[in-house]
């Protein structure tokens, strides 16, 4: 999950992606197990997010290759009250399969269990829920490892001294919670660095900008900051620029969206920990297709993570992990 995603252009691109996903699909609905092409619905965390656009594009391509009917939608914002009506809509349509990035580890579980009991096979992509009975497969990055990677990179850039802070979305999101754990666990092995209490910005860049400025005022020795997702990364970059601290305070951020790549090139961000959302989308479709065919399903799949810096970003083996703004 990430996002420097709040621009009008990105929202329009997301709309085009979802419209394209719907255009090639049958408008009718049927009960799970009925004759005809199997149907898959995808509900992403935030539909305007290039991470989820990249996932949607790959899932759509894979579904088409397998002869599956595919439609996609996503939350307008990272909020249970926004995503739950989308799940209710899917329940009414009764698709054979649902891929979903739940925006909370617990609040949506009753709705998902009810949908699952009606016969729809569920795959959790990117984020997950704590109840192990939900979903036949869970596909995501090793977010805890990504937190370790970010901490190692920041510690090196900071010369193993000074203060560091994590700014993230909100507690209770499986992916970002894991990133924070990995980061703080790794920093425990760097005694010269003081880890300040984690702050949460509710996925609002303006809040992250204000938080980093307040932290700078209270902790002049601040040497590094870890952004839990890309909206947060955008806000931190803005706050550092306003405080004239760009490049002086080192920034590690998750994901590799177009705006983040630009920030890396400009030196606003020093490290990007990229995920592989395309692989998540492809594997999600593959696992549901296997379930439809009565074949074995892999319950847990981890996808690749790559640390991107100015030094390696032009390597084709690295640049292939850059996220898309549109298919």
Domains and CATH numbers, the chain: 8-141+276-303 (3.40.50.2300), 143-274 (3.40.50.2300)
| CA distance linking residue 3 with residue 29, whole number of Å | 32
| CA distance linking residue 289 with residue 63, whole number of Å | 9
What pLDDT is attached to residue 34? 59
* pTM exceeds 0.85, yes or no: no
What pLDDT is attached to residue 221? 94
Whether pLDDT at 81 is above 80: yes
274's enclosing H/E stretch is strand 271-274
Query: Using 50, 70 and 90 to split pLDDT, how confident is the model at 28?
Result: very low
Angle at CA of residue 315, ends 309 and 321, nearest 5°: 75
| CA distance linking residue 92 with residue 182, whole number of Å | 39
In degrees and rounded to multiples of 5, residue 168 shows phi and psi of -135, -170
Of the ranges 171-185, 186-200, 224-238, the best mean pLDDT one: 186-200
Mean pLDDT confidence for 188-193? 97
| CA distance linking residue 247 with residue 185, whole number of Å | 25
* Residues paired with 277 in a beta bridge: none
Q: Which tokens is 128 given? A: 């997950």
Mean pLDDT rounded to a whole number for the chain: 88
In degrees and rounded to multiples of 5, residue 252 shows phi and psi of -115, 130
| CA distance linking residue 308 with residue 256, whole number of Å | 8
| CA distance linking residue 287 with residue 176, whole number of Å | 24
Whether pLDDT at 32 is above 50: yes
Mean pLDDT confidence for 209-227? 96
More confident residue, 200 or 77: 200
What pLDDT is attached to residue 75? 87
What pLDDT is attached to residue 230? 78
Query: Using 50, 70 and 90 to split pLDDT, how confident is the model at 35?
Result: low
């Amino acid at each position: 999950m990430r996002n420097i995603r709040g621009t009008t252009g990105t929202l329009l691109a997301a709309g085009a992606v979802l419209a394209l996903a719907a255009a090639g699909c049958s408008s009718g609905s049927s009960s799970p197990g009925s004759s005809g092409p199997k149907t898959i619905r995808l509900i992403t965390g935030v539909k305007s997010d290039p991470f989820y656009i990249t996932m949607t594009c790959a899932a759509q391509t894979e579904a088409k290759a397998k002869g599956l009917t595919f439609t996609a939608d996503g939350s307008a914002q990272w909020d249970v009250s926004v995503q739950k009506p989308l799940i209710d809509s899917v329940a009414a349509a009764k698709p054979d399969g649902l891929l979903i990035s739940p925006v909370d580890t617990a609040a949506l579980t009753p709705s998902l269990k009810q949908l699952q009991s009606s016969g729809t096979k569920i795959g959790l992509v990117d984020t997950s829920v704590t109840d192990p009975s939900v979903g036949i497969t869970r596909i995501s990055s090793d977010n805890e490892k990504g937190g370790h990677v970010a901490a190692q990179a920041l510690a090196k850039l900071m010369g193993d001294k000074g203060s560091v802070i994590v700014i993230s979305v909100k507690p209770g999101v499986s992916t970002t919670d894991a990133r924070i754990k990995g980061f703080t666990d790794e920093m425990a092995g760097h005694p010269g660095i003081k880890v300040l209490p984690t702050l949460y910005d509710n996925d609002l860049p303006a809040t992250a900008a204000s938080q980093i400025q307040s932290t700078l005022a209270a902790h002049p020795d601040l040497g590094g900051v870890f952004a839990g997702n890309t909206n947060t990364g955008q806000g931190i970059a803005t706050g550092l620029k306003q405080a004239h601290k760009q490049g002086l305070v080192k920034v590690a951020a998750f994901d590799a969206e177009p705006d983040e790549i630009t920030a890396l090139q400009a030196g606003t961000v020093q490290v990007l920990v990229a995920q592989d959302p395309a692989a998540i989308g492809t594997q999600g479709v593959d696992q549901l297709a296997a379930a439809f065919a009565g074949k074995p399903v892999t319950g847990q799949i981890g996808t690749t993570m790559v640390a991107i810096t100015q030094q390696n970003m032009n390597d084709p083996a690295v640049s292939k992990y850059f996220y898309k703004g549109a298919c």
